[in-house]
């Protein structure tokens, strides 16, 4: 049964801090921005968290295609910064988008790929015919300890996808996942900031999993990079997605529309899904998009997506990724520390 | 620790989605919801109504010295907003004090309204942000 994306919505907080401002505080050189290929990152407002971001993204998804929220039969919210350890984000999202109470919900966590795992779960329920629409969300207000390398990129944002069988803006043709036990990045229970293995997050983690999932899907489908108009890869920084695209045979032109990390940083569970939304914002009917997420720990989900005619009808129904990127208000490090709760009173 | 969870839970429809009531007989809108229309009384016909959330700033004040749960937010703006359907509500503005003026158009946004410390529940609900020209 054909299923895919009925609508999508994003939300990116308007506050930004320039990477060079963080480098100024910690005595790192200005070249760190060039090295990471990240120039600024989004920062949540004092009263924003993964729930508020998820709600705004979900409302944008419903508004874009004018979908009745009572059709939603499942809400899966992926994040590694759920504000409650016990109390599902999906319950708050459901009430805030005025869904009926007749839906199943659960919170997902798989580092930066919890959002694509949520899409897969929705595809299963939609494909089996058990539900009409599923709402899959990836949203984070990611954490980076002061002075840690993560602080240069850990950002805030999210995306929501309505998954269904009818009125598709884009068909999800197939997906493939690759998962191993690779401790490249983690956060223990009760700890405020994650830890990571430095360079170990590269070859054995990001590159191995993204390339394995991507190659696995293309082998299964009998496709090659030239069969796709666009590609989106998880964006922990500006270097990794460019390098993995080149390894796999995708061009810079194919990844350019979805490469948002230089302007907003790594939005973790939102990263790949915001990149896909930015690509859908400009894609034409008939275009094909190749998407591969990555979550530390570690795993990757690859998707082959075909854009449908309906994209033209719904595209302007909600703010685009570029709209959010363009609405930026800059903070210095002191205000950033206040926004992120790094000041203990 | 005492919790206000039941009290908060009862007002979730109003806080999340500005659900009020509307008397179809005299066409007056009520927020928070009323189960009696003071105009039509026994002849009233009240229905549930979800406000659009768009409106106009009637007046505002800037809070510099806040109570314990809000002290991290200072300075913040508290405004009286006239919703397009008529009722006036008090709400927090998502804007710096310099960005607010009487008569400006606003739209609803979903934010954290407060927290019961580090261990209690988080109150979510509606605040108001300046409306952009495209909106």
Identity of the residue in A55, A84, A327 whose CB atom sits nearest the CB atom of B110: A55
- Residue numbers in B near A341 (CB within 8 A): 72
**Strand partners for B57:** B81
Bridge partners for A133 per DSSP = A72
Helix, strand, coil percent content, chain B, rounded in steps of 5: 20, 40, 40
Please determine, for residue A238, whether its predicted confidence score (pLDDT) is greater than 70. Answer: yes
For residue B99, what are the CA distances in angstroms to A56, A65, B62, B106, B133?
22, 32, 11, 12, 15
Partners of A69 on chain B (C-beta within 8 Å) are none
What is the share, in percent, of chain A residues with pLDDT greater than 90? 90
Q: Average pLDDT over chain A, rounded to whole? A: 96
Task: Supply the pLDDT for residue A71.
Answer: 97
Contacts of A56 in chain B (CB under 8 A): 109-110
For chain A, the distance separating the N- and C-terminal CA atoms, rounded to the nearest angstrom, is 56
A203 Cβ neighbours under 8 A, 6+ residues apart: none
Dig out the tokens for A312 from the structure.
Answer: 């033209």
Q: Does B50 touch chain A (CB under 8 A)?
A: yes
DSSP notation for A259-307 = --HHHH-B-GGGHHHHHHHHHHTT--TT-EEEEE--BTEEEEEEEEEEE
Q: What is the pLDDT of residue A29?
A: 80
Is the C-alpha dihedral spanning A176, A180, A185, A189 positive or negative? positive
pLDDT digit string (tens) for A143-185? Answer: 888 989 999 999 999 999 999 999 999 999 999 999 999 999 9
Measured CA to CA, the distance from residue A200 to residue A182 in angstroms comes to 10
Mean pLDDT of A185-207: 90
Query: Is B11 touching A (CB cutoff 8 A)?
Result: no
Q: Does B69 touch chain A (CB under 8 A)?
A: no
Q: What is the crossing angle of helices A114-127 and A271-280, to 10°?
A: 60
Of the candidates B50, B110, B132, the beta carbon closest to that of A52 is on B110
Residue whose structure tokens are 């607010």: B100
Beta bridge partners of A171: A4, A306
B14 Cβ neighbours under 8 A, 6+ residues apart: B20, B31, B32, B33
Let me know if domain A172-311 sits in CATH 3.40.47.10.
yes
Q: Is the CB of B16 inside 8 Å of chain A's CB atoms? A: yes
Chain A hits for B71, CB-CB cut-off 8 Å, are 345
Chain A contact set for B50 (CB, 8 A): 98
Q: What is the pLDDT of residue A162?
A: 98
The helix (run of H) or strand (run of E) holding residue A140 is strand A133-141
Average pLDDT, chain B: 94
CA angle B100/B104/B106 to nearest 5° reads: 90
Considering only alpha carbons, which residue of chain B is nearest residue A86? B121
The complex scores an ipTM of 0.95
A81 interaction partners in chain B (CB closer than 8 Å): none
Among the partner-chain residues B16, B50, B73, the one whose CB lies closest to the CB of A95 is B16
Q: Do B112 and A47 touch (CB under 8 A)?
A: yes
Return the SS3 of A223.
coil
Give residue for tokens 């703010």.
A319
- Best mutation target among A13, A44, A47 (most B Cβ atoms within 10 Å) is A47
Buried b (16+ CB within 10 A) or exposed e, A167-201: ebbbbbeebbbbbeebebbebeeeeebbebeeeeb
Closest-CA distance, A334 to chain B, in angstroms, reads 13
Instruction: Give the pLDDT band (50/70/90) at residue A30.
Output: confident
Report yes or no: A339 and A46 within 8 Å, Cβ to Cβ: yes
CB contact (8 A) between residue B124 and residue A45: no
| Span A133-143, pLDDT tens digits | 999 999 999 98
CA distance, residue B111 to nearest chain A CA (Å): 6
How many beta-carbon contacts under 8 Å exist across A and B? 42
d(CA B135, CA B104): 13
Q: Which one of B17, B109, B110 has the shortest CB-CB distance to A98?
A: B17
Give chain A positions within 8 Å (CB) of B75: none
Closest CA to A159 of A63, A272, A65: A272
> In which band, very low, low, confident or very high, does the pLDDT at B3 lie, cut at 50, 70 and 90?
confident
pLDDT at residue B80 is higher than 80: yes
Q: How far is the C-alpha of A245 from the C-alpha of A230, rounded, in Å?
A: 11
CATH of domain A4-169+312-339: 3.40.47.10
B111 vs A338: CB contact, 8 Å cut-off?
no
Domain with CATH 3.40.47.10 in chain A: 4-169+312-339, 172-311
Residue B97 Cα, gap to closest chain A Cα (Å) = 15
- For chain B, the distance separating the N- and C-terminal CA atoms, rounded to the nearest angstrom, is 43
For residue A56, give the chain B residue with the closest CA: B110
Q: What is the CA radius of gyration of chain A?
A: 18
Q: Is residue A316 pLDDT above 70, yes or no? A: yes
Q: What is the pLDDT of residues B29-62, one digit of tens each?
A: 999 999 999 999 999 999 999 999 999 999 999 9
Contact A49 B112 (CB under 8 A): yes
- Residue-level pLDDT at A69: 97
Active-site amino acid positions of A: 80, 112, 234
Closest CA to A156 of A92, A76, A81: A81
pLDDT at B133 (0 to 100): 63
Token reading at A139: 């949203």
Domain B1-16+53-135, CATH number (from 3.20.20.70, 2.30.30.240, 2.40.50.840, 1.10.10.10): 2.40.50.840
Spatial neighbors of B118 by CB under 8 A, at least 6 apart, are: none
pLDDT at residue B135 greater than cutoff 70: no
Lowest mean pLDDT among A104-108, A306-310, B72-76, B88-92: B72-76
| Contact with chain A for residue B5, Cβ under 8 A | no
Helix (H), strand (E) at residue A180: strand A170-182
Compute the Cα dihedral for A199, A235, A12, A60 and give only its sign. Answer: negative
Name the CA radius of gyration of chain B, rounded: 16
């Amino acid at each position: 049964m054909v299923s895919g994306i009925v609508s999508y919505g994003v939300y990116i907080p308007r506050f930004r801090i320039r990477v060079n401002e963080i480098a100024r505080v910690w005595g790192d050189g200005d070249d760190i921005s060039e090295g990471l290929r990240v120039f600024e990152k989004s920062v949540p407002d004092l009263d924003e968290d993964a729930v508020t971001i998820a709600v705004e993204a979900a409302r944008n998804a419903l508004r874009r295609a004018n979908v009745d929220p009572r059709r939603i039969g499942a809400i899966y919210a992926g994040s590694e910064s759920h504000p409650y350890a016990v109390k599902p984000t999906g319950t708050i999202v459901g009430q805030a988008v005025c869904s009926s109470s007749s839906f199943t919900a659960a919170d997902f966590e798989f580092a930066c790929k919890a959002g694509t795992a949520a899409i897969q779960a929705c595809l299963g329920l939609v494909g089996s015919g058990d539900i009409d629409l599923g709402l899959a969300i990836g949203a984070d207000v990611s954490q980076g300890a002061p002075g840690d390398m993560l602080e240069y990129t850990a950002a805030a944002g999210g995306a929501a996808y309505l998954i269904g069988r009818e009125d598709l803006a884009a068909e999800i043709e197939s997906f493939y996942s690759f998962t191993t036990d690779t401790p490249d990045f983690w956060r223990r229970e009760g700890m405020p900031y994650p830890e990571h293995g430095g360079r170990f997050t590269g070859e054995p983690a990001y590159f191995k999993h993204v390339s394995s999932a991507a190659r696995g899907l293309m082998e299964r489908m009998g496709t090659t990079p030239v069969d796709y108009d666009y590609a989106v890869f998880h964006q922990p920084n500006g270097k990794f997605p460019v390098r993995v695209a080149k390894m796999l045979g995708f061009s810079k032109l194919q990844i350019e529309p979805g490469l948002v990390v230089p302007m907003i940083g790594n939005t973790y569970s939102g990263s790949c899904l915001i990149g896909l939304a930015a690509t859908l914002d400009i894609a034409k009917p008939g275009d094909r998009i190749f998407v591969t997420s990555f979550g530390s720990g570690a795993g990757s989900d690859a998707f082959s997506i075909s854009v449908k005619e309906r994209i033209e009808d719904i595209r302007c129904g909600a703010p685009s990724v570029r709209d959010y990127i363009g609405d930026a208000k800059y903070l210095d490090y002191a205000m950033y520390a206040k926004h992120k709760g790094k000041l203990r009173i | 620790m005492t919790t206000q969870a039941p009290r908060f839970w009862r007002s979730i429809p109003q806080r999340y989605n500005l659900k009020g009531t509307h008397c179809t007989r005299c066409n007056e809108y009520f927020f928070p919801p009323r189960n009696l229309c003071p105009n039509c009384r026994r002849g009233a016909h009240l229905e549930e109504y979800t406000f659009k959330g768009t409106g106009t700033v009637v007046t505002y004040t800037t809070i510099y010295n806040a109570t314990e749960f809000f002290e991290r937010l200072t300075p913040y703006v508290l405004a009286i907003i006239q919703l397009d359907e008529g009722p006036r509500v008090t709400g927090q503005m998502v804007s710096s004090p310099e960005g607010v003026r009487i008569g400006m158009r606003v739209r609803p946004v979903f934010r954290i309204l407060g927290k019961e410390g580090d261990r209690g529940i988080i109150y979510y609900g509606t605040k108001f942000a300046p409306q952009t020209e495209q909106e």
